């Protein structure tokens, strides 16, 4: 029992050390702001550009004003790395933000990821405040756009859609929000979740009314390997908006971003998003089965290691215990002989008294 307790303690300590190391590594790449103005970490970690400003006592950030040609963005100051270590380990991320758009037809809002060497001077009053000329040449900019303006130049689906942009303002994947009874520019609060899983190399986008639970099925799913897109380079993340020729206003009410390191042995081949959408039930079942097999394998491996360690300790104890010295027989005391001599002495004294 003592051996098993020691093994359990060592296993728990190892897990805790690994967990603490992961937390310390991810601390600088994660943040959460439920309010903006009164948070002491806001000014240290967040930069405002263009027309962006904190309003309403810190409850929100206004990215665009109610005037034509307004643009602004809120950006996390520290670059984030998605590939680190030797061997190289990819990282997953999850971001959540709540926002609202006024009823005018403007460019709306975009979640943007750009490499650290990017020239931020090119940001301006273009679509979503993204670089001018982005539509003419490919770049390493990743954006998820919440667009309330149909622009034929970028093959927009309509004036109420969400799209994933890869190095261009022409979306590689788009979803019509009217089909899920959502409207971007009705003045109401919306909330979005954007998740990237490094193990499957898949980007997922979800959107709902503010206060609703996170949808199970993604609105958009796209296969991409961010480790190849940016390699070892740091990446800046931001929320960017512009209204171009309208008076649309955009507000951000909360924003969080979390990086999760993924062990090398969990990496797998990317999934085809089309197959994922068509066969989502079978994929979910397969994912649960894979997870169960991984957990079972880990448990069996841990049990085998524990049993091997316990057997080794018991074997060594048996060997050393068999070598203990044995007391020689001639040195041992026989209690029966001792009592016999005592009785003989008593009888001799009785005979002398009779004389």
Residue 88 has pLDDT above 50, yes or no: yes
Q: To 10 degrees, what angle do helices 2-26 and 280-321 make? A: 130
- pLDDT tens digits for range 3-58: 545 445 444 444 343 444 444 444 567 899 887 877 777 888 898 988 999 998 88
Burial tier of 60 (Cβ tally within 10 Å: 0-12, 13-18, 19+):
buried
- Would you state the pLDDT for residue 22? 40
Cα separation, 171 vs 109, whole angstroms? 14
Three-state SS for 294? helix
Cα separation, 249 vs 184, whole angstroms? 12
Q: Which helix (H) or strand (E) holds 53?
A: strand 53-55
Closest by CA position to 131, among listed 165, 156, 101: 165
Summary mean pLDDT of the chain: 75
- Domains, the chain: 27-266 (2.60.120.200)
Cα separation, 255 vs 238, whole angstroms? 10
Q: In the structure encoding, which two tokens stand for residue 149, read together?
A: 């303006």
Three-state SS for 168? coil
- Would you state the pLDDT for residue 201? 92
DSSP 186-225: SS--EEEEEEEETTTTEEEEEEEETTSPPPSS-SEEEE--
- Would you state the pLDDT for residue 224? 92
């Amino acid at each position: 029992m003592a051996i098993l307790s020691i093994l359990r303690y060592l296993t728990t300590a190892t897990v805790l050390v690994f967990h603490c190391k992961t937390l310390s590594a991810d601390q600088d790449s994660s943040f959460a702001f439920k309010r903006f103005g009164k948070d002491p970490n806001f000014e240290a970690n967040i930069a405002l550009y263009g027309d962006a400003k904190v309003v309403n006592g810190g409850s929100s950030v206004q990215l665009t004003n109610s005037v034509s040609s307004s643009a602004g963005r809120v950006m996390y100051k520290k670059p984030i790395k998605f590939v680190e270590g030797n061997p190289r380990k990819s990282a997953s991320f999850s971001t959540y933000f709540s926002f609202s758009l006024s009823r005018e037809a403007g460019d709306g809002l975009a979640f943007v990821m750009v490499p650290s060497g990017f020239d931020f001077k090119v940001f301006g009053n273009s679509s979503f405040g993204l670089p001018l000329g982005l539509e003419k040449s490919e770049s390493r900019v990743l954006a998820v756009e919440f667009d309330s303006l149909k622009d034929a130049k970028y093959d927009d689906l309509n004036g109420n859609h969400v799209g994933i942009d890869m190095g261009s303002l022409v979306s590689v994947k788009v979803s019509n929000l009217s089909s899920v009874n959502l409207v971007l520019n009705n003045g109401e609060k919306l909330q979005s979740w954007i998740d990237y899983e490094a193990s499957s190399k898949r980007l997922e986008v979800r959107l709902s009314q503010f206060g609703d639970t996170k949808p199970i099925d993604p609105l958009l799913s796209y296969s991409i390997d961010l480790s190849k897109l940016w390699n070892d380079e740091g990446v800046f993340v931001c929320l960017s908006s512009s209204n171009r020729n309208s008076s649309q206003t955009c507000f951000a009410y909360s924003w969080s971003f979390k990086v999760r390191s993924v062990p090398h042995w969990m990496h797998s081949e990317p999934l085809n998003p089309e197959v994922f959408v068509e066969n989502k039930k079978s994929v979910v079942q397969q994912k649960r089965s894979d997870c169960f097999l991984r957990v079972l394998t880990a448990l069996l491996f841990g049990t085998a290691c524990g049993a091997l360690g316990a057997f080794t300790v018991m074997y060594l104890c048996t060997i050393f215990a068999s070598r203990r010295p044995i007391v020689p027989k001639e040195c041992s005391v026989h209690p029966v002989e001792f009592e016999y001599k005592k009785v003989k002495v008593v009888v001799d004294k009785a005979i002398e008294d009779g004389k």
